[in-house]
Chain A
Amino acid sequence: MTDVVFDTVTKVFPGQTVAVDELSLSVDEGEFLILVGPSGCGKSTALRMVAGLEKISAGEIRVGGVVMNDIPPKERDIAMVFQNYALYPHMTVEKNLGFALRQQHTSREEIGRRVAEIAQMLGLEDLLARRPGQLSGGQRQRVAMGRALVREPKVFLLDEPLSNLDAKLRVQMRAELKRLHQQLAITTIYVTHDQVEAMTLGDRIAVLSAGKLQQLGGPQDVYDLPANVFVAGFIGSPPMNLLSGIAKEGRVEAGDLVFERSGVPDGEVIVGVRPEGLRPVGQDDPGPGFEVEVEVVEPLGDEVLVHGYVAARDAGVRIEVEEATLLATTKDRAAVTVSLSPDVRPTPGSRLHLAVQHASVHLFDAGSGAAIR
């Protein structure tokens, strides 16, 4: 069994910076686990501790049941792909691919065979004699993966491997990564801040913030049932609209949006509505909903993004995501984003009546941020 277990792992850097705070999670054998979170959330540090590049301040990391805390990197049988690939610039692709095997004193024939095999798998046959400086970004990326895979490691670690590629290549390499994992079924931990990568690649995703695990689960579960307001705001693109609301006797009010929800304790709550959980309706629609003052319309082909204001208070939750809110929020108007089907094309300045689908409304405790279910 080559599962990876984080058992209350903590990493404190000099100067008392806590990068990882009592992280506990386990990665099953052959699983593709994503560590996702904003920059500085400790995800890379967690990965580097598995690789043995960072010392563990407290807790244990076990790989296949063996405690790794004091085992040097070379004895862990773990391979890693770095964000900037870290290819040896003075060696040819062939030498780069065979480097780890040469360290293990593998026979020359065996190295040749395995390098040829991996080169074929990744389409690198014609590049073997070149040096990294003569390769394109995508080719370098492939060599970096090949160098890690050629060792047939127990665990495969990837630290934001696609972030240096352009958008088109990223999509292509993402698919290739998924195919490789399905083919090889090596236990994989993948670090990213890109939630599209997280959603598409992972068997399960672990959302981290400030060194703490926020939620662990399947991509769809995390999307459908965020454990707290941070996860709700971080996962999903565009991010969830978060409004400030009040719950009283089973009735929740957030500006214009009023709906019944039983079992919600009275008091301040945060109401989260996914941009894609809204649909345009006539003015006299009886269901819960609100009116949006349209400011900006972005047609994307398969959907239309509408940015506008609703008469409600913004929840004031700030989460570092790539697509930050387009509009600034004022005191009694909250900026919201709505995703509509492409046949709806509102004009800026118009008013749009939207019905809120019950299932896409999430409630969170205003104090702790935990989901109320």
Chain B
Amino acid sequence: MTTIDLRADEMAPSAPTVLRGEIGMVERPRRRWLPFSPWHLLLMPVAFLMLVPFVWVIMTSLETLAQTQHFPPILWPGSFQLNNYPRAFSSVPFGTWFLNTTIVTVSVVLSNLVFCSLAAYGFARIKFWGKGIAYFFLLATLMIPVQVVIIPTFLIVKQMHLLNTLGALIVPNLANVFGIFLLTQFFRTLPIELEEAARIDGASRLKILITIVLPLSLPALATLAVIQFLWTWNDFLWPLVTIYKESAFTLQLGLMSFQGSHVNDTNLLMAGNVMSMLPMLLLFIAAQRYFVRGIATQGLKG
């Protein structure tokens, strides 16, 4: 597949350029009245619109409280209140919450990678009775909104005496159906001969999963890890339901304390917000390589 693609690419520059509709005429060099594609005129404002909330958050985090309450909103404060950041950090147990969130997120991401891989491999490759039905019902649960299962899940977590502990946030999320679905679909695209060759070579199913399937699935695993990280790190509703002890708060829950019925420190809230976003930005930068590779190697298999 690759060679064909490459050849097509190599051929392109030398191929004669023919004006559409008029065979034989050589295309005149296109007059460029813009240093970029005209489409960018449309796309740039849209991209800018996407950025506005993000910029607004950063700007608000650098304003005084009075500036944040001004109407119309001040988008460019004259002086930057950089000390909003240390204030946000010290006025609440930010470090503890950050640590809590990190523990929960890392545990959930790792356990999802492990359990979803195992389940997905089973669905993708192992023949067993009732597989089709089991997979169908598993996927059907994706259609059920979280709000519907929140009370039963709460009762189970309560029975397990996990309320007000980080366990309440970890245990119900050890694996999720989306991850199983994503990996199952990806595993199915890997050539079965690789696994058959490994079986003949003497590898067990688990060994095949670890030494053959998972290394070839890094793009899918990276995608799952990032999505799961995002969901867990940003989760607000479930921690709100199960955690009401400040020492077990996650960041998203803790940030709420800047904004209540008696306090409204919007500038500190936004400073906390920016700090809570940093790990995700770092993760994206680190995992970007895999996304790009995941897309770029689509044609390289085989």
List residues of chain A with CB under 8 Å of any chain B CB.
51-53, 72-74, 76, 78-80, 82-84, 86, 88-90, 99-100, 103-104, 133, 147, 151
Please classify the interface of chain B as helix (H, G, I), strand (E, B), loop, or mixed, using the class held by over half of its residues. Answer: helix
Q: Which of A84, A89, A99, A133 contacts B201 (CB 8 A)?
A: A99
What are the 4 closest A-B residue pairs judged by CB atoms, nearest first?
A103-B202, A100-B201, A86-B193, A74-B202
Contact A86 B197 (CB under 8 A): yes
The distance in angstroms between the C-alpha atoms of A82 and B202, with both chains bound, is: 16
Are the C-beta atoms of B216 and A80 separated by less than 8 Å?
no
Q: List 22 A-B pairs, Cβ < 8 Å.
A: A52-B199, A73-B199, A73-B200, A74-B199, A74-B201, A74-B202, A78-B200, A79-B200, A80-B197, A82-B193, A83-B193, A86-B196, A88-B197, A89-B216, A89-B301, A99-B201, A100-B202, A103-B201, A103-B202, A103-B207, A104-B202, A151-B201
**A80-B202 in contact (CB<8A):** no
Extra pairs beyond A74-B202, A103-B202 (17, CB < 8 Å): A51-B200, A72-B199, A76-B200, A78-B200, A79-B201, A80-B196, A80-B197, A86-B196, A88-B197, A89-B216, A90-B215, A99-B198, A103-B203, A104-B202, A133-B2, A133-B300, A151-B201
For the complex, count residues of B whose C-beta is within 8 A of A: 20
A100 to B211, CA, bound (A): 12
Interface status of B177 (Cβ within 8 A of chain A): no
Is B182 part of the binding interface, using a Cβ–Cβ cutoff of 8 Å? no
- Contact yes or no, B197 A82, CB < 8 A: yes
Contact between chains at B194 and A80 (CB < 8 Å): no
Within the complex, what minimum Cβ distance (angstroms) separates A100 from chain B? 4
Interface string of B219-243 (1 = CB under 8 A from A): 0000000000000000000000000
Bound-complex Cα distance A79 to B196 (A): 11
Closest to B2 in A: A133
With A and B bound together, what is the CA distance between A51 and B201 in angstroms? 11
What's the minimum C-beta distance from A256 to chain B, rounded to whole angstroms? 50
Chain B residues lying within 8 Å of A76, measured Cβ to Cβ, are 200
Q: Which of B2, B194, B200, B216 contacts A74 (CB 8 A)?
A: B200
Contact (Cβ within 8 A) A80 B203: no
Output the least CB separation between B218 and chain A (Å).
Answer: 9
- Cα of A103 to Cα of B301 in the assembled complex, Å: 25
CB nearest neighbor in B for A83:
B193
B76 CB to nearest chain A CB (Å): 51
Residues of B174-224 whose CB lies within 8 A of A: 191, 193-194, 196-204, 207, 212, 215-216
Min CB–CB distance A195 → chain B (angstroms) = 25
Q: With A and B bound together, what is the CA distance between A151 and B215 in angstroms?
A: 24
Give chain B residues whose Cβ lies under 8 Å from the Cβ of A74. Answer: 199-204
A339-B200 Cα distance, complex, nearest whole Å: 45
Known: A86-B191, A89-B301, A90-B216. A53 touches B196 (CB 8 A): yes
Q: Which of B199, B203, B301 contacts A53 (CB 8 A)?
A: B199
Most A CB within 10 A of own CB, among B193, B204, B215: B193
